[in-house]
Amino acid sequence: MLIELHDISYKYAGASDKSLKNVSFTMDKGECILLTGESGCGKTTLTRIINGLCPKFYGGTFSGSYLLDGKNAQELELDEIGKYIGNVFQDPRSQFFTSNVTDEIVLAMENQNYTRERMKCRLYEISTLLGIENLLEKDLLRLSSGEKQKVAVAAACVTKPKILVLDEPSANLDADSTRQLGELLYRLKMQGMTIIISEHRLEYLADLIDKMVLMKNGEIIAVYSGEEARHLSDDRLCEMGLRLFYPHDYQNISTEIGAESFLQMKHIVCKCRKATILDRITLYAAKGKILAITGRNGTGKTTLCRIAAGLRKENSGDVIINGVHIRRQDRLKKCFFVGQDSDYQLYAPTVLDEILLNRKKTPETIRRAEQLLQQLDLSAFSERHPASLSGGQKQRVLLAVAVMWERPVLILDEPTSGLDGRHMREMASLLRKIADDGMCIILITHDAELIGNCADAVYKLECSCLEKMSKEVF
């Protein structure tokens, strides 16, 4: 066996409870294992055990036995484990060491003394495979989150490690990129690579996985073969809190949002240096409706919505809210923007304090905050520090913060990127209720399941051109 875990338990330093409890499973060469379960179930911690970061980097208390290719992994240094395992983390920025795309991809090869010719060959192979040739030599910090994710995958795969560990790799990828990721993983598996993937989105993995490991509260509660997993009914997957392997085609999104809309963006142009990011874009969004904006990574979706919220200045064009031309500074008072990087938007020492930040703590506001915590399944974490939560839990905290401010326009950038099926559906339900109460909601999302659950209209931004998306796309 390439990986053998026996009775693994682990508790982070300073934590009151164990994150993993009595976990045991094995993997052979060439297998693809899916780790799944509701947010906070221990998937990420288990990947950190496998790649050696727990406890070698994070500290904490470890017990049990972990054999990597027959060797005691606890006796191996991180650089030795790194020769076996390539990693793609949930937040790709946390694994970057350079500021240039090409430098980042070749770094691991330099560390392993590849010849210059061999590095050029592998760089060409992996960039072509992932379709990121246009990103080479670009500034990493200026890429979209989806583009950063692709670079992280390329850097992890370029040295052809025996094992590839991925934590939510599709979270910020568009539909085409997710499909390409699935094809890449299939090719790597056919080449004999062992793949461990912690993931909520299941569709692109349906025909790839050999086993599905279901986790809950730090324990493995069920293991399914790939065939058994694929034959689980949609109702059963929903009961388990998971997303669907075969989502339905969403063809009922037909509401027209026209010139009478609450928010209007007309002929928006935005440039960065010499590049035109947005070229005369026109967009309408209505009160009481949910508009989903989708499109490939890097087409300017986030930039467009940051302009709407007053977080970025347009070069030309008009933003009209409730029939009035609104200056950039005044948009900040009309819109609430929830970005992709939740860590940059959490400031308070506890979750409850975060939701009440800059609000008067009256009995009414406290009651409203506690109600939101309950609706978003966060009541158990009200006294926890936001930084200690999982990615999906942080997303739900930010939604609660946004709702508390009650601004007329709510913009969310990839709000379900780290959410399991149950919490995605709960968020969709809450967004639907908020919209029905009269708020104008805009979602930047690649999540077709979210769109199908709550959106009234879908627009596709591509090649600096906003177009109405045909329903057949979903």
User: For the segment 153-186, what is each residue's pLDDT rounded down to a tens digit?
Assistant: 899 989 989 999 999 888 778 888 888 888 888 8
Say which DSSP state 15 is in: -
pLDDT winner (highest mean) among 22-36, 273-287, 380-394, 402-416: 22-36
- In this prediction, residue 278 carries a pLDDT of 92
Whether 254 is covered by a domain: the verdict is: no
Average pLDDT value over all residues in the chain:
89
Determine what percent of the chain is predicted with pLDDT higher than 90.
63
- For the beta sheet containing 316-321, the strands, ordered from the edge strand earlier in sequence to the opposite edge, are 275-285, 263-272, 316-321, 324-325
- The reply to whether 188 and 271 lie within a common domain is no
User: pLDDT of 273-324, one tens digit each?
Assistant: 778 889 999 999 999 999 999 888 888 999 999 999 999 999 999 999 999 9
Would you state the pLDDT for residue 358? 87
Take residue 35 and report the two structure tokens written for it: 């780790």
- Name residue 291's beta-bridge partners: 442, 457
Asked if 172 and 29 sit in the same domain, the reply is yes
Residue 367, domain member (yes or no): yes
Q: Find all residues with CB under 8 Å of 154, minimum gap 6, and list them.
A: 105, 126, 127, 130, 132
| Residue 256, in any domain of the structure | no
198 and 307 housed in the same domain: no
Reported as a pLDDT band with limits 50, 70 and 90, residue 31 is very high
Contact 175, 138 (CB under 8 A): no
Domain with 128, as residue range(s), is 3-239
Q: Is residue 67 part of a domain?
A: yes
What is the SS3 assignment for 367-392?
HHHHHHHHHCCCHHHCCCCHHHCCHH
Does residue 53 share a domain with residue 17?
A: yes
Phi-psi region of 317 (alpha: psi -120 to 50; beta: other; left: phi over 0): left
User: Does residue 97 sit within a domain?
Assistant: yes
Q: Is residue 34 part of a domain?
A: yes
- The reply to whether 54 and 167 lie within a common domain is yes
Q: What is the pLDDT of residue 11?
A: 96
Check whether 255 has a pLDDT greater than 70: no
Among 224, 239, 254, which residue terminates a domain?
239
Let me know if residue 320 belongs to a domain: yes
Structural domain count of the chain: 2
For CA atoms 146, 147, 149, 153, give the dihedral sign.
positive
Cis peptide, bond prior to residue 55, ω within 30 of zero:
yes
233 and 279 co-located in one domain: no
CATH of the domain at 395: 3.40.50.300
Q: Is residue 257 part of a domain?
A: no
What DSSP assignment string belongs to 168-223? STTTT--HHHHHHHHHHHHHHHHTT-EEEEE-S--GGGTTT-SEEEEEETTEEEEE
Count Cβ atoms below 10 Å from residue 285 Cβ, excluding itself: 24
Confirm if 148 and 93 have CB atoms less than 8 A apart: yes
Q: What angle do CA 250, 256, 258 make, to 5 degrees?
A: 150
Q: Are residues 269 and 325 in the same domain?
A: yes
188 and 267 belong to one structural domain: no
- The verdict on 211 and 303 lying in the same domain is no
Q: What is the pLDDT, as a whole number, of residue 384? A: 92
